[in-house]
């Protein structure tokens, strides 16, 4: 029942700091805490001078809320209508934040058309149904193709890289790395703290 209330996002956010320190105490296992993910998104935006953040998988709007003051524009896509509606209401007072509802393979085309400069993309592996679920296995390749083929040299961060298992039609990290670096030789792929990072080759 708590998940259906407006305070659930706040409740989840309160757990980020304890979760982070518990992760440290456990020796930094594969699954990274949300606070580390926030830090990574913020640092990559600063490192590459990116003013726009695009997210797939809004969920309860935790990343949007955390990045609200760090980016000039934030576009977040949520497939589940109920979650998208809740996030849209939550962030309605912020003119630089837009919540989209729909299939990212369609919505991303509209968002890419709005971009006049490079942006940071935060893609959620859970959105593809990889972690313990059977989802749309073509979604990742379609999104990467759209983003990397766009005229601007965008930076991509993919959450929950452990979901790239190489099983049941799901690509492995090695396969994604090979695909990206062979088709887009100006890009490089690295994984750290369960986040796959596609950046400009130095």
CATH fold of 2-200, please?
Answer: Rossmann fold (3.40.50)
Per-residue pLDDT tens over the stretch 2-53:
455 555 555 455 556 676 665 666 766 667 787 889 999 999 999 999 999 9
- pLDDT (0 to 100) of residue 29: 61
Query: In this structure, are residues 124 and 57 in contact, taking their beta carbons and an 8 Å threshold?
Result: yes
Return the higher-pLDDT residue of 168 and 110: 110
């Amino acid at each position: 029942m708590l998940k259906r209330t407006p305070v659930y996002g706040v409740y989840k956010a309160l757990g980020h700091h304890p979760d982070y320190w518990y992760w440290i105490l456990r020796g930094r296992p594969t699954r990274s805490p949300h606070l580390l993910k926030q830090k990574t998104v913020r640092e990559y935006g600063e490192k590459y001078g990116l003013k726009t953040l695009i997210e797939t998988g809004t969920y309860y709007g935790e990343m949007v809320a955390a990045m609200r003051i760090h980016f000039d524009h934030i576009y977040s896509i949520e497939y589940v209508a109920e979650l998208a509606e809740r996030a849209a209401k939550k962030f309605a007072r912020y003119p630089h934040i837009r919540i989209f509802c729909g299939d990212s393979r369609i919505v991303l085309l509209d968002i890419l058309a709005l971009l006049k400069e490079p942006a940071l993309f935060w893609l959620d592996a859970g959105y593809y149904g990889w972690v313990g679920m059977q989802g749309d296995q073509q979604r990742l390749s379609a999104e990467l193709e759209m983003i990397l083929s766009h005229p601007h040299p965008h930076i991509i961060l993919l959450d929950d890289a452990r979901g790239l298992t190489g099983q049941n039609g799901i690509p492995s990290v090695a396969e994604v790395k090979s695909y990206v670096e062979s088709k887009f030789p100006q890009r490089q792929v690295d994984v750290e703290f369960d986040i796959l990072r596609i950046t400009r080759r130095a």
